[in-house]
């Protein structure tokens, strides 16, 4: 029997999520962000309920209008009776420790809709924590039962691009400004997009921008597959958004049919496993007396130049092994 007052244990939270309690969902997301020790047990109970939601990545340079486009897509999906989760990876303020723009401020038109679930992720931590935490938040939404997760991330920086890579389909949003496509190419965005969108297409130069993107995409090896699509939108008034959603759906349908959908999910899951394994190792090395003392001692040795960092790292992993063997 689900007791909505017990939201402090992994079992209570997972029951809450499976019973569609929004407070449980929200608290579980905070656990993920805080790296709460109960997260592993939480996912032991929830993982079996994940995998159904479609994950759409939206990336592009700052100022391209990604958030507005995401809001329009969410509205359109809501009109079609789908439930939508939105996860935004935002730059962090070092002063507040969180995203500068609150979830409600970002998309006032969606804040009152209880079929929409929003979360802003702060860019914090290190050692690959951002992508792993984002993946967990997406999984929570999936287990909660949303049909679509819109995963918005700024298209600059290695960790941020890693986030975009975890989606089933990712589109890159650019604006019709001279050189924007070149900058996007430099930032690695052309490589990760499955679709391209020129937003603010009512501005001058939109047609030229589409052509510019097409010519860059032509350089990309497509191994005989059909060329990637370039769509145009005006997110502020919704122009082109239904056509964009159709293109996203068509991409997913084709990917399901040719097996690339499953192959990509496998690749993402394999990559995530390696990230989580690293987290396990780092915890083992930094938490608890045995790990901490080996790390501190070896740091001293490296600074004293009595061992190289590379040999010290191998020794550190070996020390973690011994601590582990001792516990089994």
> With respect to its own copies, which residue has the nearer C-beta, 147 or 301?
301
CB–CB of 210/180 below 8 Å?
Answer: no
Residue 228 binding its own copies, by CB under 8 A: no
Site string for its own copies, 132-151 (x = CB under 8 A): --------------------
Site for its own copies in 231-260 (CB under 8 A): none
Site for its own copies in 57-86 (CB under 8 A): 62
Q: Which residues of 44-82 are buried (b: 16+ CB within 10 A; e: fewer)?
A: ebbeeeeeebbbbbbbbbeebbbbbbbbbbbbbbbeeee
Residue 196 binding its own copies, by CB under 8 A: no
Residue 218 binding its own copies, by CB under 8 A: no
The token duo for 97 is: 């420790």
CB of 64 vs its own copies, minimal distance in Å: 14
How many CB atoms neighbour CB 13 within 10 A?
27
> With respect to its own copies, which residue has the nearer C-beta, 239 or 275?
275
* Among 47, 108, 49, 56, CA closest to 82: 56
Sheet holding 169-174, edge to edge: 116-122, 84-90, 148-154, 54-60, 169-174, 195-198, 229-232
Residue 18 binding its own copies, by CB under 8 A: no
Residue 126 binding its own copies, by CB under 8 A: yes
Query: Per CB under 8 A, which region of 43-51, 167-175, 225-233, 243-251 contacts its own copies?
Result: 43-51
Considering only 128, 205, 238, 242, the residue that binds its own copies (CB under 8 A) is 128
> With respect to its own copies, which residue has the nearer C-beta, 141 or 245?
141
The DSSP secondary-structure symbol of 227 reads P
CB–CB of 138/166 below 8 Å?
Answer: yes
CB of 96 vs its own copies, minimal distance in Å: 10
Which residues, 6 or more positions from 161, have their beta carbon under 8 angstroms from its beta carbon?
59, 153, 155, 187, 188, 189, 192
Residue 162 binding its own copies, by CB under 8 A: yes
Query: Per CB under 8 A, which region of 3-11, 26-34, 184-192, 222-230 contacts its own copies?
Result: 184-192
């Amino acid at each position: 029997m689900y007791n909505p007052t017990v939201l402090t244990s992994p079992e209570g939270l997972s029951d809450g999520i499976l019973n569609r309690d929004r407070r449980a969902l929200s608290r579980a997301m905070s656990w993920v962000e805080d790296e709460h020790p109960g997260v592993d047990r939480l996912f032991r109970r929830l993982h079996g309920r994940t995998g159904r939601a479609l994950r759409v990545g939206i990336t592009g340079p700052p100022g391209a209008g990604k958030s507005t486009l995401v809001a329009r897509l969410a509205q359109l999906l809501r009109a079609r009776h789908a439930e939508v989760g939105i996860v935004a990876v935002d730059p962090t303020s070092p002063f507040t420790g969180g995203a500068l723009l609150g979830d409600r401020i970002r998309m006032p038109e969606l804040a009152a809709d209880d079929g929409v679930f929003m979360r802003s992720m702060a860019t914090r931590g290190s050692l690959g924590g951002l992508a792993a935490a984002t993946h967990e938040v997406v999984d929570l939404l999936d287990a909660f039962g949303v049909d679509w997760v819109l995963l918005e991330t700024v298209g600059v920086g290695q960790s941020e691009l890693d986030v975009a890579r975890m989606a089933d389909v990712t589109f890159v949003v650019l604006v019709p400004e001279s050189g924007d496509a070149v900058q996007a190419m430099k930032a690695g965005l052309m490589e990760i997009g499955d679709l391209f969108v020129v937003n603010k297409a009512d501005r001058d130069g939109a047609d030229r921008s589409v052509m510019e993107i097409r010519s860059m995409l032509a350089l990309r090896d497509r191994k005989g597959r059909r060329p990637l699509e370039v769509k145009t939108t005006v997110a502020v008034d919704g122009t082109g958004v239904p056509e964009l959603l159709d293109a996203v759906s068509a991409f997913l349908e084709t990917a399901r049919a040719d097996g690339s959908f499953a192959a990509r999910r496998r690749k993402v899951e394999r990559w995530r496993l390696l990230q989580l394994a690293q987290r396990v190792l780092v915890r083992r090395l930094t938490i608890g007396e045995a790990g901490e003392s080996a790390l501190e001692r070896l740091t001293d040795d490296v600074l004293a130049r009595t061992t190289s960092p590379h040999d010290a790292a191998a020794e550190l992993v070996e020390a973690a092994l011994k601590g582990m063997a001792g516990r089994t």
